Amino acid sequence: MPLYEYKCGKCGCVFECLVARADADSKQECPECGAARSVRQMSAFSVGAAKSSSLPSCPTCTTGSCDL
């Protein structure tokens, strides 16, 4: 199950929840106030970013860049 980020519509608390993909858009209960008025958020982790040559090189490998 994927980990989704939600924001409570009542208290503004941002929280993560393991939810089946089929239920990802359903309202989740807020761990702070207990309200079921949450909205799924777009998290930075789920967006993904392309590798760029402007990123610093890895000093420990022979190619100069790696996934470490």
Could you give the CA distance from residue 30 to residue 17 in angstroms, rounded to a whole number?
10
Which pLDDT tens digit goes with each residue over 9-64? Answer: 999 999 999 999 899 889 999 999 999 999 999 866 655 555 555 555 555 566 55
pTM of the model: 0.60
| 6 CB neighbour count, 10 Å cutoff | 23
What is the C-alpha separation between 35 and 4, in angstroms, rounded? 17
Give the whole-angstrom CA distance, residue 24 versus residue 32.
20
